[in-house]
Structure 1
């Protein structure tokens, strides 16, 4: 990570450093002085809400797709992807949608599923590359329950401090509850969610009912869970724009961090420092609900191993998330083929899925210049939402894939960890992220959730049924923005929601 591993190690101001919210930071090392000035100018927050900003409708720069807005719009490749790379994208798509089967199988290129698993394909959790949904009846495919216990002693605390562990899995059930299993093996348990309605009055007298979820696990297949284990539901997020997020320069994310709230605005923002398993170095986490992964490749490898039970060169775990307490699971065959190598999904499988994930295009904005959208945008700014949902960046000029390089993009996120208050707390530590902290999710594509995914459930566990509920669940560092929204007139709230719908 460009020059630093901890905020405390950052250089004093001067030379190539620049002043950020939390102190002094290194400047971008990929730009000339002239280009740096251009980037700082174009990414400066707007104060003119009378018209759309230049290039605002192209949410992802030259990679933006202008494909028709229909249910497959998140499955388009970057508009500037070279023709010679389209084959790799299509191969990656086929592997993303591939259904894995249990071993041994006559279909040797597809076996190795599980033995315990949550889904048989990446597509199962991310239908049409969109957002998953909370459990409904027996269908919980696109929601997983993450399992973790806190460190028990100083040695385990040091492991987390040194980024050698994010947390510690349940000794019996591992890092994630697997609600499916290959034939002849018991699943670990079933996810169960119930809701209690809570009435929230707004300033103009309107009443909004929020769903407060209660989660439980039934039908445990391998005995009791450790009493210290916490359970955190996570809904699969949309897949668009990931390659561009990976190409945002670290300096542009670190400049937003203010872990000690030096500016006194009650918004801290902490960078999620994690271990890059490929390089062994400390890197900036960007992916996952708690920013626990620094790269798309690592995020994909984790999903293969834990969600599907498929080993890859980046995560060699042929028995998936089976633990030492699950002897029967560990005794079952894996899908490793000696002629193909030591893992179930050898190269180039992971590389192609990573390439596909990195090049899923963000759709163009709708109605960006409409008066109501612009009014809503101004209200979004006045409520303080951009303090976490940073509108725009220019990606690295030295990006390894030139189609992702030097693009003006509008993800609306700072990709930092924020304390979101008691209401959204899951009580589960993930690396440096506490049980109250979440990564700011990007908002691009938000207004297309219904079109692509067939629902409007939002937040990490899908509890919010619409934009209004999602905003009203905000607390902690976002409390002031939530209060501002609740105090708006009905017309102003409608305008702000229209702005979100346009993203």
Structure 2
């Protein structure tokens, strides 16, 4: 067995931090490169002024803002009363595109089988994998959860793994890139399932210790501190410097709208040196795009490690299911050279598809993922929710959870084009402190940093996913616990929540539940 805390990154974060700031030239170049993959129409000066007015921070908490209930703009969908609330197409989608969405949904839900198989369109699973379909991790397009006990499987959660790289392993085009390499025997993530005749890589074991938190007004809370074990390793011990990072599957709604936010609007929020002295120093993660063969702004994943929905989908296919595709063509998926039997096993890319999922299939899944609609907010004019919104602003939560944007004008994506949206994220990396650190870098993200997650739809988690587990590893069992886990840059906000009157704390949670 190997425990997470025994294998910390050996490089000095103070030394690494000296190389983390992008120069203005690099930022400008990244902005240009990032938006080239979108078919955009430039904004006029009048539109820019309108956008600045529409997205300006509010100072009026007596009533809801105009259009605030439509979190996804015209793409917003009704708040379905059942577990399908996250599985609806964009509210402004055409009839023809809704048909494309449904075909993509079929591929998202498709159960893959091992090779050889008479089902030539669905073979190629594994040989090592975490799930047999996208839907198995993102059940009902919602967020995953950690195993409930030692007997429960980790179908919607896994451990990423890597070892520290050397300076020559860095990507020279990305300033401040923190080099890491796949673990020699296990690759970049651990798979807990395998096809017949092969051993799984491990079993995820989590043990929790409770710690009490005293809140104002005589209230208390309890946080569960996780201890991760990669148990029953199937291919020998992990490298002595192995760094592991637990990840639960995130919710899927609104991804296309997040992708359509202009890169310059996100980069304008970055403050790596905390020039405004507010204690918040968000940074952009700049990653290497396999699809475009260039540096791009990272947007997706818990550390913003992927630049586009298509690349995120392709990496999940090969890593989570073992399905080769045009961006990641390895037929053996995540098998490594030290797993000889796995590398030699039959796979499903020897037919007319060329890959186990071809470009057309990958595009359909991308279209589906891009168009999962954000549900309308509930009770935006409720006095307690308005009070909670005021607390949210006054406490400084909007320093990271940026309320609103206007998306690009897009020629060929009418659903995402020029929408006023309310995702409550700045899409940037923030140091969340040692308590949430995984001590594993990803591109420019340090072991203490995480991307600010969007908050839209968070109040429907119980309805959709059947639980209220939050954060990157599901350790928080409620929204209040998620807030109390904040540290690092968000420490003062967390302390303010601990110290505020109980009525304000309750109103804050009600506001979050309305999103």
Q: TM-score range by the shorter chain?
A: over 0.9
Structure 2 residue 190 is matched with structure 1 residue 177: yes
> Are 1:102 and 1:115, in contact at CA under 8 Å, matched by a contact in 2?
yes
Report deviation, 1:403.
Answer: 1.9
Q: Map Cα deviations across residues 31-61 of structure 1 (whole Å, 9 max, x no partner).
A: 1000000000000010000000000001100
TM-score normalised over the length of structure 2: 0.91
CA distance in 2, matches of 1:169, 1:146: 9
Secondary structure of residue in 2 paired with 1:348: helix
1:433 pairs with one of 435, 445, 456: 445
Taking a change above 3 Å as real, the CA distance of residues 354 and 163 of structure 1, as seen in their structure-2 partners, is: farther
| Distance of aligned partners of 1:408 and 1:328 in 2 relative to their CA distance in 1, 3 Å threshold | same
SS at match of 1:402: coil
Quick one: structure 1 residues 461 and 305, their matched pair in 2 at CA, closer, same or farther if it must change by over 3 Å? same
| Cα distance between partner residues in 2 of 1:165 and 1:96 | 33
Structure 1 residues 34 and 132 mapped into 2: Cα distance closer, same or farther (>3 Å)?
same
Q: For the structure 1 residues 99 and 484, does the alpha-carbon distance in structure 2 shift closer, same or farther, using more than 3 Å as the test? A: same
Q: Are residues 431 and 223 of structure 1, via their aligned partners in 2, closer, same or farther at CA, if it must alter by over 3 Å? A: same
- Does the 8 Å CA contact 1:160/1:431 hold for their aligned counterparts? no
3-state SS of paired residue (2:153):
coil
For residue 268 of structure 2, what is the aligned residue in structure 1? 255
* SS of 1:217 mapped into structure 2: strand
Q: Does 1:306 align with 2:331?
A: no
TM (norm. structure 1) is: 0.93
Alignment of 1:259-298 (within 5 A): 259-298=272-311
1:398 CA displacement: 3.1
Question: CA shift at 1:66, angstroms?
Answer: 1.2
1:360-399 Cα offsets, whole Å, 9 max, x none, are: 0000000111000000000000000000000000000135
2:510 counterpart of 1:495:
no
Which residue of structure 2 aligns with residue 138 of structure 1? 152
After the TM superposition, which of the residue ranges 292-301 and 67-76 deviates more from structure 2?
Answer: 67-76
Structure 1 portions without partners, runs of 5+: 18-27
Q: Which residue of 2 aligns with 1:205?
A: 218
Matches of 1:11 and 1:327 in 2, distance apart?
Answer: 42
Contact conserved, 1:286 with 1:292, CA < 8 A, in 2? Answer: yes
Report the counterpart of residue 50 of structure 1 in structure 2.
62
Asked if the contact 1:163/1:275 (under 8 Å) is kept, the reply is no
Matched, 1:9 2:24: yes
Which of 375, 382, 390 matches 1:363?
375
Per the alignment, in what secondary structure is the counterpart of residue 391 of structure 1?
coil
1:264 offset after TM fit, Å? 1.2
- Distance in 1, matches of 2:27 and 2:137, equals 45
In structure 2, the residue corresponding to 1:196 is in which secondary structure? strand
Distance 1:286 1:134, change over 3 A: same
The question of whether the paired residues in 2 share the 8 Å contact of 1:163 and 1:274 is answered with no
- 1:114-193 aligned at under 5 Å gives the runs 114-136=126-148, 137-151=151-165, 153-158=166-171, 161=174, 167-193=180-206
Any idea what SS the aligned residue of 2:218 has?
coil
Alpha-carbon RMSD across the aligned residues, in angstroms, is 1.9
Give the secondary-structure state (helix, strand or coil) at the position aligned to 1:234. Answer: strand
Paired with 1:340 and 1:69, the residues of 2 have a C-alpha distance of: 40
Compared CA separation, residues 12 and 97, structure 1 to 2 (3 A): closer
CA distance in 2, matches of 1:397, 1:6: 30
Distance 1:6 1:85, change over 3 A: farther
CA distance in 1, matches of 2:335, 2:274: 42
Counterpart pick for 1:408 among 397, 416, 420: 420
Q: Give SS of 2:187's match.
A: coil
Check the 8 A contact 1:267/1:387 in 2, yes or no: yes
Cα distance in 2 for partners of 1:98, 1:12 equals 40
Identify the residue that residue 375 of structure 1 maps to in structure 2.
387
Contact 1:373 1:499 in 2 (8 A): yes
Q: CA deviation at 1:73?
A: 1.0
Out of 23, 27, 33, which is 2:45 matched to?
Answer: 33
C-alpha distance in structure 1 between counterparts of 2:199 and 2:178, whole Å: 28
Shift of 1:217: 1.0
Q: Distance in 1 between matches of 2:337 and 2:362?
A: 27
Once the 2 structures are TM-superposed, how far is the Cα of residue 213 of structure 1 from its aligned partner?
Answer: 0.3
Q: 1:46 to 1:365 in 2, by over 3 A?
A: same
Tell me what 1:21 maps to: none
1:354 to 366, 377, 381: 366
Q: Residue in 1 aligned with 2:336?
A: 323
Q: Distance in 1 between matches of 2:464 and 2:394?
A: 30
Rounded to whole Å, the distance in 2 between the matches of 1:239 and 1:158 is 30
